[in-house]
Structure 1
Amino acid sequence: MTVALRGLSTVVPPTVLIQEEVRDVFAGQPGLNRLAQRIVATSFNVSGIDTRHTVLAELSRDMRPDEPVFFDIARMELLLPGTKARNELYAEHATTMYLDAGRAAIDATPGVEASDITHVITVSCTGFYAPGPDYVIARDLGLGADVERYHLGFMGCYAAIPALRIAKQLCEADAAAVVLVVSVELCTLHLRSSNDPDTIVASSLFADGAGSGIVTALPLEPGERAFDLDRFATRITPDGEGDMAWKIGDHGFEMVLSNAIPSIIDEHITGALQPLFAHDPALADALATDASSGAVEHWAIHPGGRSILDKVESRLRLTEAQLLPARETLRDFGNMSSATVMFVMRNILDSDAAADGDRVAAMAFGPGLTVESSLMTVRG
């Protein structure tokens, strides 16, 4: 049975953050010591990001709310709202983005209507509410009252790949299943000024966005482009549990993002990919010798940061062209946590370089340190 990811769609909020402008705001915050000011300059300047998107319209220079919550533009000062205030904004804005992304995936999948959806899987680590986004999607998009719903919460940047794996398993168990997968992350709700290096690095990287798609074994329509979901693998590295983490604080969620992460990924990435390629000797040999050889034409790497992409490119000996979708995603959208890898996949699928039958290896990293990967084939 062939199970495909169809209708792959991405959504971002309208407010655009210019990286240089955000850097200057963070660098000018009261209370920053000299070391923190240097870290702000370095982190933002070498991030590989030009623009990001946010649901916080008040971060735009065009907005001057009477009672600012996050940013007092008159004083150019970042404020410090509590976790409750941040999560209330999450519930408001995430609902809109879940519906927009879910609707986009359904509209982009020919031959599939909302009433055909049998399962919904939602993904997020940047907020919580109940009834949750899975319920809202079922209610507001016209899904059946008996649709099965699942939510993957607080898993971090790798969570979209397990969501696709579960969707594939549901389709393998029921050939008539049509699974809507939607990932929404509003990372900018947790931005704040700090002297802590991890917080500064996170503030230079994270952004808001949503990715979605339909997973089903139903046949593709003529002219449709999609990904066959071939295989999945998951690995926990022996190091890194304390180097990447996501905790709930009094003033939002707090990211632990140590500078050791690129080195840990560099050391363990090949071993983490071995189970994904073990079924195919040609692929396994390519991984062991030269991953850029063409056995896998495209690489959808989660752009956790520029240094991570540099390490992946070097360790796997990938070409600049193979990392271009990831670098372009980082440049234009930043790190949108779990949704980001779907943006990279969309970049590949939309590219003229992706031909029918091409193999794609997707990979994302998250707390643990966990590596989730998927092997796919371009169709159409």
Structure 2
Amino acid sequence: MAYIQKVVTALPPVRLDQEQVLAMGRRILKGRIPFVDQALKLIANAGVENRHLVRTPDEILDNDTLSWRNEVYSESSIQLGGELMTRMFESGVVAPEDVDLIITTSCTGFMIPSVDAYLISRFRLRPDVKRLPITELGCAAGAMALSRAHDYLRAFPHHRVLILAIELPSLTYRTRDFRVANLVSAALFGDGAAGVLLSSEPGPCRILDTRTHFFYDTPEMMGFDLSESGFKIILDKKIPGLVAEKFVEPARAFVNDQPEFVTEGIQHHLFHPGGRRILDTLRDEFGLKESQVAASRKVLAEVGNLSSASVMWVLDEVLKTRPHGNGLMAAFGPGFNAELLALRFHTSANDVPRG
């Protein structure tokens, strides 16, 4: 069995509220595109009230070279990763020498060696610790990391797995790119990170099952193109429609394969907050009340879309309520791909299955 023991989160220092973003958008876009009012309305209706950045907006706008941005990405990833590991180890749930596998996820920059190499040295993890960097799965990577940790713990039940999701989407914003996709990205994404510890010891959340669903012939719908000026975001406007038309059936098949879900229902829905329209679509297609997507909606409003770290923020939000019952987690990423997890929340030690 794989249990989630602890979730920690971290944010970079620069905070922007929605009014600041709109004022900045008006200043940058005026005279450069013919649809300024529509663009500002898109930003205003994104469902994001606050976001955090690793550098001020002016610094990012004034330094649009890939070399500068990737240097900031590397420095900031090490810093945020260090904050996550410090909080995890200071919580007392695990010691550095007890981590057997470290999984890192990120898609908003490039590092070789990956960020875990610096953190293993800094925190003196064991020299035989296993490493698994996941770099090209986008927003789905956080959920997929949880799934791979679940698989690993089935094979090595006495081990402990540490996941770090570190995303800095602000560094992918292209200063002179006025495509709708780039504006949508600016409206939705924020910088941030999350860490999760898993083991086979009884804990507050058990992973019951996982499933990946790949949508054929959709690689052009989401991702990045890389050029001299950096990452060029690809976000197809048909993504909410694809989720509505193609995702619900495999998701329901997964739900029907979970005996606990069939007999007891689903009490908690942990959807990746990819955007307001995505959450609206999932709510409507699954016939949910607004309160049932409140955790995802709150994360989107407070910090924006954090790519692979988002579902871990949603998980943390749910865990704060001391939940009980079944949970369905879902995230989407480039491919086009969906990752599903069946969860069981426990409010007390007596409620946790053992063995």
Tell me the TM-score normalized by structure 1: 0.86
Equivalent-residue separation in structure 2 for 1:230 and 1:143 (angstroms):
29
Deviation at 1:105, TM superposition (A): 2.6
Q: How many residues align?
A: 345
In the alignment, residue 172 of structure 2 is paired with which amino acid? H
2:193 aligned partner? 210
Q: Deviations over 1:254-304 (max 9, x none)?
A: 1111221111111122123134324236736x9xxxxxxx70100110011
Equivalent residue for 2:62? 79
Q: 1:295 to 1:176 in 2, by over 3 A?
A: same
1:325 aligned onto 2:307: no
Task: Kindly state the Cα deviation for residue 155 of structure 1 after the two structures are TM-superposed.
Answer: 1.3
Q: Aligned residue for 2:310?
A: 340
Quote how far apart the aligned CAs of 1:321 are: 1.2
Give the structure 2 partner of residue 289 of structure 1. none
Q: Which amino acid aligns with 1:167?
A: A
Structure 1 partner of 2:118 = 136
Aligned to 1:252: 230
**SS of structure 2 residue aligned to 1:303:** coil
Q: Deviations over 1:305-363 (max 9, x none)?
A: 001100000000111111000000000000010001100111001025x22xx111111
Residue of structure 1 in register with 2:15 after alignment: 16
Tell me by how many angstroms 1:129 deviates.
1.4
> Which residue number corresponds to residue 62 of structure 1?
none
Distance 2:270 2:92 in 1: 21
Matches for 1:13-162 after TM superposition, within 5 Å: 13-29=12-28, 32-35=32-35, 37-56=36-55, 58-59=56-57, 69-70=59-60, 78-108=61-91, 110=93, 112-162=94-144
Aligned-residue identity in percent = 27
Partner of 1:269: 247
The AA in structure 1 aligned to 2:89 is I
Q: Secondary structure at 2:219's aligned position in 1?
A: coil
In the TM superposition, what is the alpha-carbon distance from 1:80 to its structure 2 partner?
Answer: 4.9
Q: How many Å separate the matches in 2 of 1:238 and 1:132?
A: 30
Partner in structure 2 of residue 291 of structure 1 = none
Following superposition, the deviation at residue 109 of structure 1 comes to 5.1
Change (3 A) 1:229 1:375: same
Kept in 1, the 8 Å contact 2:105–2:145? The answer is yes
Task: Report the CA distance between 1:117 and its aligned residue.
Answer: 0.6
- The answer as to whether partners of 1:270 and 1:316 remain within 8 angstroms in 2 is yes
Q: Output the CA distance in 2 between the equivalents of 1:106 and 1:20.
A: 37
SS in 1 for 2:143: helix
Aligned mates of 1:166, 1:282 — CA distance in 2:
22
Q: Would the aligned equivalents of 1:16 and 1:53 in 2 still touch at CA under 8 Å? A: yes
Mapped to 2, the partners of 1:243 and 1:219 lie a distance apart of 40
In structure 1, give the amino acid aligned to 2:5.
R
1:7 pairs with 2:10 = no
Partners of 1:69 and 1:373 lie apart in 2 by 38
Distance (Å, rounded) in 2 between the aligned partners of 1:14 and 1:346: 20
Say if 2:225 is the partner of 1:242: no
2-structure distance, mates of 1:329, 1:86: 26
Q: Is the 8 A contact 1:9 1:108 kept in 2?
A: no
What amino acid is the match of 2:18?
A: Q
Please give the secondary structure, in 2, of the residue aligned with 1:330: helix
Please tell me the residue identity of whatever aligns with 2:7.
L
Q: Which has the higher helix share?
A: 2
Aligned twin of 1:280: 258
Q: Where does structure 2 lack aligned partners over 5 or more consecutive residues?
A: 348-355
**Alpha-carbon deviations, 1:22-68, whole Å to 9, x = none?**
12212222652212x13421221110111001111x33xxxxxxxx6
SS at match of 2:111: coil
Which residue identity lines up with residue 223 of structure 2 in the other structure? A
**Aligned counterpart for 1:315 among listed residues 267, 285, 289:** 285
Aligned residue in 2 for 1:374: 341
Question: 1:146 is aligned with what amino acid?
Answer: D
TM, length-normalised to structure 2: 0.92
Contact 1:109 1:214 in 2 (8 A): no
Q: Which moved more, 1:141-150 or 1:336-345?
A: 141-150
Paired residues of 1:126 and 1:154 also in contact (CA < 8 A): no
Q: Distance in 1 between matches of 2:143 and 2:219?
A: 20
SS of the counterpart of 1:9? strand
SS at match of 2:299: helix
Asked whether the equivalents of residues 7 and 109 of structure 1 are also in contact (C-alpha less than 8 Å), the reply is no
